[in-house]
Structure formats: structure tokens, C-alpha cells
Amino acid sequence: MTASLSDILTTQKNGVVAINGLNRILQTMSDNLIIIAGNSGNTYPSTVSATIAASTTTLVVAGTGKLFSVSIPVHAGSAQVYIYDSATTGGISAANLIYASLPSNAASFTPYQDVKLPYKNGLVLKTDAGMNFCVGYTPNP
């Protein structure tokens, strides 16, 4: 039994309709991909802070965002670094501390940490004597 010309044309038409439907879906996904990635909070860091000098407290960014990484050079000593969710250096307290490193001479000290911590007010970085570090973060637009 052979297919009629009408059956062949109907099958061809159904194929074209299906391909066009997929194209619309892919175009919608492509158009929304930037919005989806920007709002997901799972993007890669867009900014790496300057290295924060020893014995300083520095406001890196004000506003909301996500802290992704902490990079601390290894040194001999028990100094630590601290990160606060605060919009000002004067506003730091134990209540808004979001990260504290282990002393660099501790057995499980890691010089680079992937942290993925959200912040609401800003990032204030504080160092002990003899210790410096930097962070990777993405501020929300």
C-alpha cells in the first residue's frame, strides 16, 4: 500500500509545524537566558576585590549580592580574616559576621574557599595583623 500525495504533504506540513514550534521555544529561551542567569544568583563572580592589607577594615561594596570565594595567602601565625554583611565599616558586629577564617596555622586551613554566601547590605573585609586577602563577588544590579 502506498501513501497518497495528500498523506505525504500532511506529514511534511506536520514536520514544518513541529520545527517552527521548537524554534519559538528556543528563541524564547535565548531571549530570557540573560534574565534567568542574572536573577539566579548562580553566576560567576563579576568582580574580584583588591587585596585587603593587614590590620585594616575596608568596605568593598555596598548593596546586595553574593560572595563566591575567599582567597587568603598562607603564612605562619594565627591571624584570621573576617567578612561582614554591612554597608559601613563602623557597622560591623558579631551579629552581621558572615565569614571568619581559621587561623592560617590551623590543620584544616584552606587558602582558597568557595563559599557562595549572599549578603544584603554590603561587604566589609577585616584583617588581623600580618594577614591580607581578597574576595570574589557579584553585586546585584
Number of folded domains that form the chain: 2
Question: In a 3-state reduction of DSSP, which class is residue 75?
Answer: coil
Q: Are residues 66 and 95 in the same domain?
A: yes
Range of the domain at 27: 1-40
Split the chain (141 residues) into runs of 10 and give each run's mean pLDDT: 81 79 73 57 70 93 93 82 96 96 83 90 93 90 57
Q: Are residues 113 and 51 in the same domain?
A: yes
Specify the CATH number for the domain of residue 95: 2.60.120
Question: In a 3-state reduction of DSSP, which class is residue 99?
Answer: strand
pTM of the model: 0.68
Q: Are residues 114 and 132 in the same domain?
A: yes
Q: Are residues 131 and 75 in the same domain?
A: yes
Q: Are residues 35 and 72 in the same domain?
A: no
Q: Are residues 14 and 51 in the same domain?
A: no
